[in-house]
Structure 1
Amino acid sequence: MLLCFTMEQFNAQPIWVRLLSVLGFICLLKFSFTLLRWVYVSFFRPGKNLKKYGSWAVVTAPTDGIGKGFTFQLARKGLNLILVGRNPDKLKDVSDTIRAKFGNTQIKNVVVDFSGDLSQGIQQIQEAIEGLDVGILINNVGVSYPYARFFHELDEELLKNLVQINIEAITKVTQALLPGMLKRKKGAIVNIGSGAAIIIPSDPLYAVYAATKAYVDQFSRCLYVEYKNSGIDVQCQVPLYVATKMASIKKSSFFVPSTDGYARAAVRWIGYEPRCTPYWPHSLLWGLLYFVPDSVFDYGRFSFNLKIRRRGQLKDARKKA
């Protein structure tokens, strides 16, 4: 009776009211499904068995920040490591620490400065992976501004490094490892993007950095489509702030994870969505940003970055004094 009475009332309403009611119900269902899916993938979905991709993983820039976090998490999963970085002493320190903690892990160190001769560096990586079952590539190497600045204030060296390291290096490293993955018909490529390019509408005073990370996102998405039927999973991970030297953040917090905290979440997402934000508080912030008008965000972000610029200029002035 209640259902019949409700339907009678519904049918008695004007057509526009009925349409709004149906649309509202559909929106509610969609929101409920999205929320339930977010809860599942954020807290309950198990990570994949990463060893199914291969027994070796390559990590670029593994001696600090997110890259260092990845190396320990991958070693914990039983993978052997090829660590590619520019500082041989730091590479040795990281390798020794991993071996002390995970005694069965095999490690190869490859000294490459991605701001230098890329052709030589890529050749060294190719020689290091020869004959190995490399299943995972973590393209973590990247560089940002020392501090916020207007585009016309970028010096030639910084501009060159932003493009060469953030774009050319990950492109060529990927190109070097893909043939082996295709031959074995399995592999996972993880490119580290940035919320500066994807989540937020703009990042003024970091224009070139944000643009290079937008390239990483589109590059990843295209490769995901190209190779998903070849057994290769390509993914762009999009973190917000993480407590790293590059972000100039020393202390972690609820919304700013430590490098280990981020890496633990990141490893669990490998092989799933082509674009993801693994650390769940970051995905909450991403959702909230959808409700902020672009003009409001642009103004706030510009003001915030201007303050960073002023602090950086004062620091430079003190060094020169």
Structure 2
Amino acid sequence: MISTWIILVSILGFFILLKNFIFFLKWIFVILLRPSKDLKGIYGSWALITGSTDGIGKAFAFKLAKKGLNLVLVSRNSGKLKRVRDEIQDRYPDIKIRIFELDFSEDDVVSRVRVMEEMIEGLDIGVLINNVGVTYPGAMYFHEVDEKIWMNLVRVNVEGTSYVTKVVLKGMVARRRGAIVNMGSGASIVVPSHPLYAIYSATKGYVDQLSRSLYVEYKPYGIDVQCQVPLYVSTKMASQVAQVERSSIFIPTAEKYVEAAVGFIGYDQPRCTPYWAHSIQWFFASLLPDALLDEWRLSIGIRRMKLTT
């Protein structure tokens, strides 16, 4: 009887090890060997990028231009839009670029999105990068968050992503092809909570669930919807929130992150963490108890709050 149990436990252990080994081999293949998709050939000749003048959005603009896609750049600062357009045009003179000034925090965002819809009518927009996003000016308890701050987060992170997605989806459905990438956050997915940044985390949770639902909803139409989940990337927002001063292995530059991110577009993964070191951090976070992660995140938030007061 004892020997039978030993055999059963040994078999179970073998299959667990085999499963983990296969998972590891798949991860190695995805990170090192899997080729990126021909986005222009599969989805269409244009890409629309929100929040396209800084950080990850700007890096996406350069990378997609390098892959031969024409660009619609959307941001709130017309001066930056023109500078980024000219920089890309100098490097990739054959790429067509349109710019559209849109501040998602303003009250007239709906009417401005409608104007944008008219501007992109007739364009074969095959790739949408919903990158625009904002966070708190600093760590703070929920009851201390000014109404203007949290309404701004909802307008930009929730309403902005939803409005733009709906507008671009119409053309994708008609053409029965397209790829939508929504930028999520480890703050709402990798860790069980993000104390002192509660509303930011909640808005990114909305983006994640929206993406996963649309993935199922529009798969029959040939449209791939994906929520990409970066952890810290060396950008202006990361510097504001986490006092990130320089890039490292676990905090890549926007360019390094996007290099990995573009390679995931088009693959059947409704939620993913493209950058290899971020996926390692996510794996180890999944092994820890939620209570321990909660305490750790709270202590980080309190420390950051004290640094800004």
TM score, norm. by length of structure 2:
0.96
Q: Which residue of 1 aligns with 2:263?
A: 268
CA contact (8 A) 1:142 1:166 kept: yes
CA–CA distance in 2 between the matches of 1:239 and 1:40?
20
Structure 2 residue 204 is matched with structure 1 residue 213? yes
**Which residue of the other structure, out of 113, 131, 141, is the alignment partner of 1:140?**
131
- Alpha-carbon shift at residue 256 of structure 1 (Å): 0.3
Residue by residue, what CA displacement relative to the aligned partner does 1:125-178 show, whole Å, maximum 9, x if unpaired? 201211111101000011101111100010011010111111111011100011
CA contact (8 A) 1:241 1:247 kept: yes
Change (3 A) 1:129 1:50: same
Residue by residue, what CA displacement relative to the aligned partner does 1:247-272 show, whole Å, maximum 9, x if unpaired? 11231110000011111111111011
Instruction: Percent identity, please.
Output: 53
**Which residue of the other structure, out of 26, 35, 49, is the alignment partner of 1:37?**
26
CA contact (8 A) 1:148 1:205 kept: yes
What letter matches 1:270 in structure 2? Answer: I
Structure 2 residue 278 is matched with structure 1 residue 282? yes
Q: Which residue of 2 aligns with 1:253?
A: 248
CA–CA distance in 1 between the matches of 2:115 and 2:39?
25
Q: Which residue of 2 aligns with 1:201?
A: 192
* Unmatched runs of 5 consecutive residues or more in structure 1: 1-11, 314-321
- Alpha-carbon shift at residue 207 of structure 1 (Å): 0.6
**Which residue of the other structure, out of 269, 275, 300, is the alignment partner of 2:296?**
300
**Which residue of the other structure, out of 83, 104, 110, is the alignment partner of 1:119?**
110
What letter matches 1:264 in structure 2? Answer: E
- Alpha-carbon shift at residue 13 of structure 1 (Å): 4.8
1:282 match: secondary structure: helix
CA–CA distance in 1 between the matches of 2:97 and 2:6?
66
Q: Which residue of 2 aligns with 1:153?
A: 144
The alignment yields a C-alpha RMSD, in angstroms, of: 1.0
Aligned pairs for 1:15-34 within 5 A: 15-34=4-23
CA contact (8 A) 1:110 1:124 kept: no
Structure 2 residue 68 is matched with structure 1 residue 72? no
- Alpha-carbon shift at residue 305 of structure 1 (Å): 1.0
What letter matches 1:62 in structure 2? Answer: S
Matched length: 302
CA contact (8 A) 1:139 1:191 kept: yes
- Alpha-carbon shift at residue 229 of structure 1 (Å): 1.5
1:141 match: secondary structure: coil
CA–CA distance in 1 between the matches of 2:162 and 2:211?
10
2:238 match: secondary structure: coil
Point out 4+ residue stretches in structure 1 off by more than 4 angstroms: none
CA–CA distance in 2 between the matches of 1:46 and 1:287?
23
- Alpha-carbon shift at residue 86 of structure 1 (Å): 0.5
What letter matches 1:304 in structure 2? Answer: I
CA–CA distance in 2 between the matches of 1:275 and 1:54?
22
Structure 2 residue 43 is matched with structure 1 residue 53? yes
CA–CA distance in 2 between the matches of 1:264 and 1:128?
29
CA contact (8 A) 1:108 1:128 kept: no
CA–CA distance in 1 between the matches of 2:200 and 2:5?
48
2:166 match: secondary structure: helix
Q: Which residue of 2 aligns with 1:234?
A: 225
What letter matches 2:22 in structure 1? Answer: F
What letter matches 1:36 in structure 2? Answer: L
CA contact (8 A) 1:139 1:192 kept: yes
What letter matches 2:265 in structure 1? Answer: I
Residue by residue, what CA displacement relative to the aligned partner does 1:85-104 show, whole Å, maximum 9, x if unpaired? 11000000000000000111
CA–CA distance in 2 between the matches of 1:275 and 1:60?
19
* Unmatched runs of 5 consecutive residues or more in structure 2: none
CA–CA distance in 2 between the matches of 1:162 and 1:277?
23
- Alpha-carbon shift at residue 228 of structure 1 (Å): 0.9
What letter matches 2:139 in structure 1? Answer: A
- Alpha-carbon shift at residue 15 of structure 1 (Å): 2.7
